[in-house]
Structure 1
Amino acid sequence: MSTPLDDQTRFYLRNWERIETWLALRSEAIDSVKTAIIAAVEGLDPTVVTDASMRWEQAIDSTFPTFELSKPNWCLDDRTVAVALQWQQQKQPRKVSDASLWPWIGIRVSGGSAKDIAAVRLWKQLAEPAAGLQWHERELGTGWLWWKRLHPIGAGDDLDTLTQACRDGLHAGWSRMSGPIDDWFRRE
């Protein structure tokens, strides 16, 4: 006696060859996105990101590569506050909802949670300039005070526009957020 199959399982069994072919392309797509993001970082205009310390906070080959623009005095205890660009290059996501190729940009407190009193005060202080950048999302538990997802402009396969979106996002983020962050640290 066989076990009854649900609709999703039946669909997979009917289409498994095509599904596996598409899944095999994921690694190539991730490498292409990675190349586009690296090009964005390498093409930053130093006259726009003046006074910024630039660094890869997490290695380029890690699961969550993270590029940060910060200043030496932007520290909450042992954690750094930064304008950050991050993406997930997980080759085999645990679930479909984890499977986005596109990076996100925002204000990040490195080292995990940003739920302490100082980080929450900074989060509130940055609400207005973050809204001006359309950084409406927040995940204080993972250190992201404000963020938004970046996508290629127009067709999803035009990674030159993703490079431009990342570069523009870093430039705009630094230009709009470095002053308010400096002001907050001067007062704290």
Structure 2
Amino acid sequence: MTIEEFGRKPLSIPPIDDPQVRFYLDHWHAIETWAALRRDADEALQDRLLDLVDVLADDARTIGDDIDIHTDTSDRRKPRIAISRRSWRDAAGRVPAATVIEWQKPLIDRDGELQLYVGLRVGERRRRDQQVGAQLSGLAAAFRQRLGRPWEREDEAFPVWRWVTVPGTVIDEIALLEDARAGAWDCWNVTAGAIDDILAH
């Protein structure tokens, strides 16, 4: 049998019938073209998050003169916006705790999930004020009870925290920013007084 004759016989292999895989195979070029926009969308969302600094600073002016809002990009993988009091700073200008809006890079992960959260941060383990961190850890359950759902259990650097999310399947960046803003001030209102008390003693 020649190659030409062999090639005339129909294949006995059935086509892929998994509906999701079939959809991808039938539309792979369009899907991959759209997926390539993830990086651009990620960068645009991060720019909008950084725009929150000015919004939070305006909010802070109505609350009190001692509130400091700043970006912290010392960990390039986890940029954050921090809310603290100037009076909390030590001689080196560091604060032992702050309310933060923090995200991981990339903000939109490979599964299309947002890696954005808000909470009370006590710093990296090697640079943490251990005494302040321990006292805030002891208050974590009370903070969470006051904040209610969906605030999460204590994490290594966060006595209290929660995800910033948007409902549904569309990323509404304005709703996302509003949720981050509201979560940050909720956290601040519950935790700042405790930090004042800890640092006063």
TM-score, reference length from structure 2: 0.68
- Counterpart Cα distance in 2 of 1:169 and 1:123: 19
RMSD over aligned Cα, in angstroms?
A: 3.6
What is residue 35 of structure 1 aligned with on the other side?
47
TM alignment of 1:164-183, pairs within 5 A: 164-183=178-197
- Counterpart Cα distance in 2 of 1:115 and 1:186: 15
2:118 equivalent to 1:105? yes
2:37 equivalent to 1:25? yes
TM-superposition CA deviations, 1:55-95 (whole Å, max 9, x none) = 212169x33211111134266x96631101101232895x6
Larger radius of gyration: 2
Residues 137, 154 of structure 2: 8 Å contact kept: no
- How far is 1:131 from its partner? 3.1
- Counterpart Cα distance in 2 of 1:181 and 1:126: 12
- Counterpart Cα distance in 1 of 2:65 and 2:145: 23
Relative distance call for 1:137 and 1:118 in structure 2 (3 A) is same
TM-score, reference length from structure 1: 0.72
- Counterpart Cα distance in 2 of 1:181 and 1:159: 31
Residue identity over aligned pairs, in percent, reads 22
Q: Which has the higher contact order (CA 8 A, sep 6+)?
A: 1
Query: Which 5+ residue runs of structure 1 have no aligned equivalent?
Result: 1-10
2:70 paired residue among 36, 55, 67:
55
What is residue 156 of structure 1 aligned with on the other side?
170
Greater share of residues in helix: 2
2:150 equivalent to 1:138? no
Relative distance call for 1:117 and 1:176 in structure 2 (3 A) is closer
Query: Which 5+ residue runs of structure 2 have no aligned equivalent?
Result: 1-20
- Counterpart Cα distance in 1 of 2:141 and 2:89: 17
What is residue 81 of structure 2 aligned with on the other side?
67
1:84 paired residue among 86, 100, 104:
100
- How far is 1:185 from its partner? 2.2
- Counterpart Cα distance in 1 of 2:95 and 2:134: 14
Q: What amino acid is the match of 1:103?
A: L
Q: What amino acid is the match of 1:111?
A: E
